[in-house]
Structure 1
């Protein structure tokens, strides 16, 4: 099968478009014919070796954890899916090797849910990792409610834009940080935009003089420090970007595959409560360009790699 892989850690230049063996299908997995796979910031960190202290690496590595596609072979213990089912998944295992930037991926059923009919394959590929991150942080770590004002950093990005939609659905008031060019987009999602940079805490306090009940940090550093300054008494703080949040009394969150959470997200997408904005798509053979664009950090929504089965 055609796939993107790398045989050593490094920059985007280590990514190769090559032939790889079709993956074997374990008893609790299904073979998915990949239609689309989303790029996430963690893909760069994995490729550069920054996760080497956390996850074993088996070279060559096929990158990618997000996927949407069609089931072509269920494992013999699988009852959840059948041939022809359209699925999406956050296909993360506890080692780096068998990713989603390929024509096929063997995906454990614990990582999958049915693709919402409302979403295209490209949109569905962009939902799992970012959507699960937003869902788990908001509902399990921060436990937001309808009486809360929530500050979401990088609110126009892949995780942030989904977090805005989920927080609004929960009835919360949302303030979101973003560059000026994305302010109108945030207003369309239902958030009150503020710009990054010096004076951020003052700008947030102008909107919420009594502070905010919850902060969802996706940036770390100065944004995290400013977050502490705008928390209301007993306010909750969670970060997916900076472990220093622990010293500040907050929670450091790492998304995990969860079929039930992903199915709940899929249902919200099917109802039109959440949508996925796909900023750019690239064919599989141009995955290196997708990685380069993702690393620039200026994308609104998701970058997606597609597999053309008609070619």
Structure 2
């Protein structure tokens, strides 16, 4: 089968299209015929050699990609939830060597769910990892409730846009920071307010926020302190930057406000993927796809992702939906 592999860490040039053996599913795994894969920032972070959090977990060679949508080809002997022919979406064994930039992958069945019926494989591949990060952060760790107010940094990105929509599905008041070109898009997704971070200081216009969800790539203590300034007493600050722990200064500021700080490591829970699929199918969550690339153009997809200016998700199309081979 075809797969995009890296045999060394480095720039986009280390991404190689290779012929490899089709994986065999373990008893608790499914073999998925992959139709599409999402492209996430973590993909090129790992391609570059990872960060302090990821580096000890990485082994070469490896197939990148941690978002998949496709059809179940085979089920392991212990798998009861799926059968051959099921259309599924989910997350491969993160961060193992058998990723989703491939024609087939084997992964734990517990990390997959039936694909939302209302969308195709390309859109479905843009959901799992980003949506699970958003769900873990906003719903599970942020404990967001109806009537609460949430501020989302990086609201136009893959994670941020899902966090915004999950917040609205919970009945929360959602405020997003984004560049001016993304304001209408965020309002279309349900944002109650949008702040242009280039021209307005959010900490000067907001206060008494219940949850701050930071999905921006900025790793800056001063920015975290600004978020703490707008947080209410006992509020929750959630950050997706798990490689940037809370400093002593930030920890003391959290304690002074009786607030809680959380770093998001996504939980690959099947029940959450099922709930997210339901939200998509009833029209409460949209999947924003920025661009679809053929598998052979994966290096260009990485270059675009590395700009940090992608609205929604980038997708690798592994095979066409009308092709069953």
What is the TM-score of this pair, normalised by structure 2? 0.90
Decide whether the 8 Å contact of 2:189 with 2:286 is kept in 1.
Answer: no
Q: How many residues align?
A: 306
Question: Counterpart in 2 of 1:213?
Answer: 210
* Cα distance in 2 for residues equivalent to 1:145 and 1:161: 18
What does 1:162-173 align with in structure 2 at a 5 Å threshold? Answer: 162-173=162-173
Question: Counterpart in 2 of 1:59?
Answer: 60
* Cα distance in 2 for residues equivalent to 1:164 and 1:97: 32
Decide whether the 8 Å contact of 2:298 with 2:316 is kept in 1.
Answer: yes
* Cα distance in 1 for residues equivalent to 2:176 and 2:41: 20
Q: Aligned to 2:311, what secondary structure does the other structure show?
A: coil
Deviations 1:95-115 (A, max 9, x none): 431111000000110110000
What does 1:93-108 align with in structure 2 at a 5 Å threshold? Answer: 93=94, 95-108=95-108
Range moving further from structure 2, 56-65 or 111-120: 56-65
What does 1:152-163 align with in structure 2 at a 5 Å threshold? Answer: 152-163=152-163
What does 1:223-302 align with in structure 2 at a 5 Å threshold? Answer: 223-241=223-241, 242-244=244-246, 247=251, 248-249=253-254, 250-302=261-313
Decide whether the 8 Å contact of 1:91 with 1:257 is kept in 2.
Answer: no
53 and 229 in structure 1: CA distance in 2 versus 1, 3 angstrom threshold: closer
Matched, 1:83 2:84: yes
Shift of 1:120: 1.1
Shift of 1:308: 2.2
Shift of 1:231: 0.9
Range moving further from structure 2, 239-248 or 268-277: 239-248
101 and 204 in structure 1: CA distance in 2 versus 1, 3 angstrom threshold: farther
Decide whether the 8 Å contact of 1:194 with 1:203 is kept in 2.
Answer: no
Q: Aligned to 1:70, what secondary structure does the other structure show?
A: strand
Q: Aligned to 1:131, what secondary structure does the other structure show?
A: helix
Range moving further from structure 2, 140-149 or 176-185: 140-149
Question: Counterpart in 2 of 1:124?
Answer: 124
Decide whether the 8 Å contact of 1:217 with 1:223 is kept in 2.
Answer: no
Q: CA RMSD in A?
A: 1.7
Q: Aligned to 2:61, what secondary structure does the other structure show?
A: strand
Shift of 1:87: 0.2
Q: Aligned to 2:283, what secondary structure does the other structure show?
A: coil
* Cα distance in 2 for residues equivalent to 1:204 and 1:239: 21
Q: Aligned to 2:42, what secondary structure does the other structure show?
A: helix
* Cα distance in 2 for residues equivalent to 1:236 and 1:58: 35
Task: List runs of 5+ in structure 1 lacking aligned partners.
Answer: none
* Cα distance in 1 for residues equivalent to 2:85 and 2:22: 18
Question: Counterpart in 1 of 2:258?
Answer: none
Shift of 1:126: 0.8
* Cα distance in 1 for residues equivalent to 2:53 and 2:127: 27
20 and 51 in structure 1: CA distance in 2 versus 1, 3 angstrom threshold: farther
What is the TM-score of this pair, normalised by structure 1? 0.93
* Cα distance in 2 for residues equivalent to 1:291 and 1:30: 27
